[in-house]
Each structure stands twice: as structure tokens, then as C-alpha cells.
Amino acid sequence: MPLVAHTNLPTFQRLHEEGEEILSADRASHQSIRELHIGLLNIMPDAALEATERQFFRLVGACNQIAQFHVHPFTIDGLERGPEALAHIHQYYESFEQIKRDGLDALIISGANVTHAHLQDEDFWQPLTEVFEWAKQNVTSILCSCLATHALIQNCYGIERTRLPAKRWGVYSHKVVDRTHPLIAEINTRFDVPHSRFNEVFQADLERHGVKVLVASEQAGVHLAVSPDGFRIVFFQGHPEYDDISLLKEYKREVLRFYRHEREDYPPFPEHYFDSKAEALLNAYAVKVHQAKAQGSVLEAMPEDQIIPYLDNTWRDSAKAVFNNWLGKVYQITNEDRNLPFMAGIDPENPLGL
């Protein structure tokens, strides 16, 4: 059921213009439908801050449970922000203190960019772990994306991620490992997922600590896993929330970094993402980039409008199905009185009754 525009966050208007069903707060107040309150801890850098909002809001809004979805974006200290992003956060985001006072049914934590080899050395590590500890005791289920997955796995199980020889970057085929888990009910047994990361946590390490792997790829590793109880923490190592153009935008940023002498090598294509026609356009553009860099001249814009028609989204349906199953279980097991302790009346060792 629909998202509720309970604030003036521009993402609501943007999604409405894309055809998403968005309820006004007034209209929602006149419906006898239960609310679900979902936090979005957005720790992505400024360039991806609002896009990340839209991506996760879309997946939540696509769920067909009989509920009104109130999504509450917030962030934490320790992240470098420019004036524009700070103004957006100040105007539209809630504070963590407000989140704790009002309570949540579920929490989504986005990925992030890092600057240190070890996550515990990041300025945002302490604020992030404070959110983790609160959520583990007060929220029915936490869903983590990429960097958040690595951070929470380290926090919970002491498993540090491993640096890969090269960036894991592209769209990869995945296969369902455990077909019995409710999170992957009615989902294709094989589907694609985008990845974009320099580090990895491995299946053997996760399983050694009782983490249940549900979806994995021979080439890209684990994508979807859950905490030993089966539901309280959901781990995504990939990016099912990505739009079809997300990897194109990342590739463009890397090309511009090469042009500005911020990286020495010209970026390779994300794997299994561009088709031959898109690659031909981008190879022609690469010649212009090298020339402009060598001559110190102004670089013409990347021909994105010509490339986008050749991009396919081969992961959205499976992502919607997993989110639908996730929020369906949250809906079923969340006690309506959010002032009660975590999952009151529910066995915390087996919240799904498996």
C-alpha cells in the first residue's frame, strides 16, 4: 500500500511525478488502515543522498501489504557534508533522538563511502554502532545495505571485511541458496543484483557464526543473508535498491575523477552492465576524455541520453519481492503498542516461528 507524505520531503513529490501512489497526511488520517513506521538511516555521500532516499522509498512503496508506510529519514554525525546536503538534512530529516522517542517498526540502513582501511576508524563508527545497539533492542527488523552490512556484521560477530584485489562492480547473476525461508517466498530462484564495493564478507565466515545465507553468486559472493534467528537483521551485500542508471552515474564519476587527475587509470566498465552498443558510445567518449585531459581543455558532457536506452534493469522485480516479504513479516509480528519492549510476546530467538 502507499507511502504517506507525512512531511514536505521533495522525494514524495518526485515519486508522485513518476507515477507512484503517495497519500497526503490528511487523506491517510481518514483511512482505517494500520501504519508501519520505517526508519531510513541514510549515510550515503552528498552526491547520492537524495537518490538513495528515492530508491528505498520506491521499494517500500511497491509493497502490497495492507498498511500505510511512513518512512522517516535520518542520519548521524561523523559524515562529511556540504552546505546543500546539510540544508536538506536540517529541513527534512529527523534526529535520532526523535526517532528513539517515537519508535520504529523497521529500520533500513544505507551504504556509505569510507576513507579508512578499518571501519572502526571511521568518524561515523561510534554514532552508527549507537544506532545498531538501540535498533537491536527496539526495532522488529533491521535491513542493511552493503557498507552497513559490513559494519553490523563486524559489530555483531567480529568479522572484518576483506579487501578485494579489484573493485566488485557490475550486475551479477545470483541463485537462491535456501528456498524455504519466508524472505524469498515466491521469488525467482535465479536473478541479477548490482554490486559496487572494494571489500567482501565471505559465506564461510558468515556461516561459521550462524548467519544464514539465502542468496549468493559464484562471481560476486553472498548477496542476501539473515541473522541466526532468521529475521531480526537482514544483510544485503549488493544493491537491490539501485536504479537502472545508478552504475552509469558511478561510472561517470570515475571518468571525471580520471579527467581531474584524481585517479591514474581510466575506469573499466562495470561488469555485465553495458551492452555492446553502450560500450561503443563510451569507448568513443573515452577518446575525447583522453584528448581533453592531455590538452587541458574543457570536457564535453558524457552522452548519457544516448546510453540510457541500452540499459536494462534485471533486478527490480526480485528486489520488490524481497522487500514485500520483509515488510509483510514486520507487519505480522510487530506489536501495535510501540512502547512495549522489542517484539513483546514474540520469541526473540525465533521471531518467525520457524
What is the per-residue pLDDT for 213?
97
> How far is Cα 203 from Cα 104, in angstroms, rounded to an integer?
30
What is the per-residue pLDDT for 291?
98
Tell me the mean pLDDT in the region 92-108. 97
Residue from 223, 239, 250, 254 carrying the catalytic annotation: 239
Give the distance from CA 29 to its chain's centroid: 29
Strands (E), the chain: 3-5, 22-24, 35-41, 68-74, 106-109, 141-145, 162-176, 190-200, 212-217, 221-226, 233-236
Give the tens place of pLDDT for each residue, 47-57: 999 999 999 99
Give the tens place of pLDDT for each residue, 263-282: 999 999 999 999 999 999 99
Per the annotation, the verdict on 63 as an active-site residue is no
Q: List, edge to edge, every strand of the sheet that includes 3-5.
A: 22-24, 3-5, 68-74, 35-41, 106-109, 141-145, 233-236, 221-226, 212-217, 162-176, 190-200
Does the structure show a pLDDT above 70 at 354?
Answer: no
Per the annotation, the verdict on 239 as an active-site residue is yes
Per the annotation, the verdict on 146 as an active-site residue is yes
Q: How far is the first Cα of the chain from the last one, in angstroms, to the nearest whole number? A: 26
* % residues pLDDT > 70 (the chain): 91
Q: Cα–Cα distances in Å, from 112 out to 230, 242, 256, 321, 323?
A: 25, 14, 20, 24, 20
Cβ pair 255, 293 in contact under 8 A: no
Residue from 146, 174, 195, 200 carrying the catalytic annotation: 146
Does the structure show a pLDDT above 90 at 202?
Answer: yes
Three-class secondary structure of residue 181 per DSSP: coil
Three-class secondary structure of residue 271 per DSSP: strand
> How far is Cα 108 from Cα 105, in angstroms, rounded to an integer?
11
What is the per-residue pLDDT for 334?
74
Q: Cα–Cα distances in Å, from 6 out to 23, 25, 43, 46?
A: 9, 5, 22, 23
**Comparing C-alpha atoms, which of 67, 36, 45, 41 is closest to residue 56?**
41
Taking the CA atoms of the chain, what radius of gyration do you get in angstroms?
21
What is the per-residue pLDDT for 25?
73
The pair phi, psi for residue 253, each rounded to 5°, is -60, -40
Q: How many CA atoms lie within 13 A of 329 on its CB side?
A: 26
Tell me the mean pLDDT in the region 135-161. 96
Three-class secondary structure of residue 142 per DSSP: strand
* Domains of the chain, each with CATH number or no CATH: 3-243+313-333 (3.40.50.880), 246-310 (no CATH)
**Comparing C-alpha atoms, which of 123, 68, 131, 24 is closest to residue 327?**
68
Cβ pair 230, 181 in contact under 8 A: yes
Place of cell 532468521: 230
Label residue 6 by pLDDT band (50, 70, 90): confident
Label residue 29 by pLDDT band (50, 70, 90): low
Residue from 200, 241, 250, 254 carrying the catalytic annotation: 241
What pTM, to 2 d.p., does this model score? 0.87
Tell me the mean pLDDT in the region 310-320. 96
Kindly report the average pLDDT of the chain as a whole number: 91
Residue 94 DSSP one-character state:
B
